[in-house]
Structure 1
Amino acid sequence: MDENRGLLIGRMQPVHNGHISVIQETLKEVDELIIGIGSAEKSHTDSNPFTGGERILMLTKALREHKIDPSRYYIIPLEDIACNSLWVGHVKMLTPPFCRVYSGNSLVQQLFEEDNMKVVQPPLFNRTIYSGTEVRRRMLNNENWEELLPKSVVNVIKEIKGVERIRKLHKKEVSELVRKK
């Protein structure tokens, strides 16, 4: 096993400048980084509006924009499975071997620690504004969301009409909540 290959998992809904900063910092610690696109099967909901393929496209273009050497990373879509105790094995089956896991998600940390993997909390960059939740909130409220993302990701979101999708999804979820009352 390559002793200096890490795994970083994130939903990246959408890819923002905080993700790029974490990837750049993590690449200072490892020779190669596996970037797992978490919940790859989820899309078209308020908290997961973009498909796995769209997120891979966003990340590929953002890494190129920031001149991150493509020989140093792998982008792998990771689908969730219904059984947490089997999830680590599922991830290991889908990825090249790795010796460290970088995650800010407490469940992910716990599951890999229980599998005796070294887990590292990656640095968080201005988490109050660099979060997918904040980006999506700004999109819904006609606020400046573009400043939080690499230009290439902004272009992908415009190409796929992502803001319009988020607004339609939000209206649909709100109207379903009202109907249930």
Structure 2
Amino acid sequence: MKKSRGIIVGRFQPVHNGHIQIIRNVLEEIDELIIAIGSAQLSHTPKNPFTAGERVTMVKEALNEININPNSYYIIPIPDISNHSLWASHVKTLTPSFNKVYSGNPLVQRLFIENNYEVTTPPLYNRTEYSGREIRNKMINDEKWDILVPNTTYKFIREIDGINRIKDLSQKEINEL
């Protein structure tokens, strides 16, 4: 019997409990999941503070923390290209084959639909709190954010001094005249 394999694309800046809940639920529907780390070429910006490697580590450790079988998923960094009409084909060239796409992003959905993929919108969990932007803002403002991410993600961000990285990156550049 052929295995069912799906893909989910996210930036995971950082991975949070909402991501993990979606991944857990998707893995109940399919045999294998490709977790595509989107915008893999970006790092060290306010919107994308973590490197692709750091995001891979965060996702892998978070899934290990909740005992998800590592044989049930792949984590693959996907760099952006500047041509939306080619993007789904670009993803296809970098990943194992898949037959189902999970995304809440309207652009990602449209691009895969136009390439004849079955697209499902997974339910989002507490989107107002489980948002990378909100979590990064909480870090900048010294607010409580640790409960919004897996324990391993919290520890990893602390180990790499990620909070200070985000704070430094969020400062406006000072232009000297």
- The TM-score with structure 2 as length reference comes to 0.96
Task: Give the drift of 1:175.
Answer: 2.9
What does residue 160 of structure 1 align with? 160
Q: How many residues in Structure 1 have an aligned counterpart in Structure 2? A: 176
Q: Secondary structure at the match of 2:36?
A: strand
Does residue 101 (structure 1) correspond to residue 101 (structure 2)? The answer is: yes
Task: Give the drift of 1:4.
Answer: 1.1
- The TM-score with structure 1 as length reference comes to 0.94
CA separation in 2, counterparts of 1:28 and 1:45? 35
Give 4+ residue runs of structure 1 displaced > 2 Å after superposition.
none
What does residue 130 of structure 2 align with? 130
Q: Aligned in 2, Cα 1:144/1:91: closer, same or farther, shift over 3 Å?
A: same
What does residue 175 of structure 1 align with? 173
User: Aligned AA for 1:175?
Assistant: E
Q: Secondary structure at the match of 2:21?
A: helix
Task: Give the drift of 1:3.
Answer: 5.4
8 Å Cα contact 1:2-1:99 kept in structure 2: no
8 Å Cα contact 2:22-2:124 kept in structure 1: yes
CA separation in 2, counterparts of 1:159 and 1:50? 13
What does residue 21 of structure 1 align with? 21
CA separation in 1, counterparts of 2:96 and 2:2? 9
Instruction: Encode CA deviations 1:127-179: one digit per residue, 9 max, x unaligned.
Output: 000010110010010000111011100111011100000000011xx235xx4
User: Aligned AA for 2:164?
Assistant: E
Unmatched 5+ stretches in structure 1: none
CA separation in 1, counterparts of 2:21 and 2:41? 25
Task: Give the drift of 1:99.
Answer: 0.4
Instruction: Encode CA deviations 1:99-130: one digit per residue, 9 max, x unaligned.
Output: 00001111000000001110000110000000
What does residue 79 of structure 1 align with? 79
Q: Secondary structure at the match of 1:138?
A: helix
Q: Secondary structure at the match of 1:37?
A: strand
> What is the CA RMSD across the aligned residues, in angstroms?
1.4
User: Aligned AA for 2:133?
Assistant: T
8 Å Cα contact 1:3-1:99 kept in structure 2: no
8 Å Cα contact 2:3-2:32 kept in structure 1: no
CA separation in 1, counterparts of 2:76 and 2:2? 17
Task: Give the drift of 1:2.
Answer: 4.5
Task: Give the drift of 1:69.
Answer: 0.6
8 Å Cα contact 1:35-1:75 kept in structure 2: yes
CA separation in 2, counterparts of 1:79 and 1:56? 13
Does residue 143 (structure 1) correspond to residue 128 (structure 2)? The answer is: no
Unmatched 5+ stretches in structure 2: none
Instruction: Encode CA deviations 1:63-88: one digit per residue, 9 max, x unaligned.
Output: 00010011100000010001111111
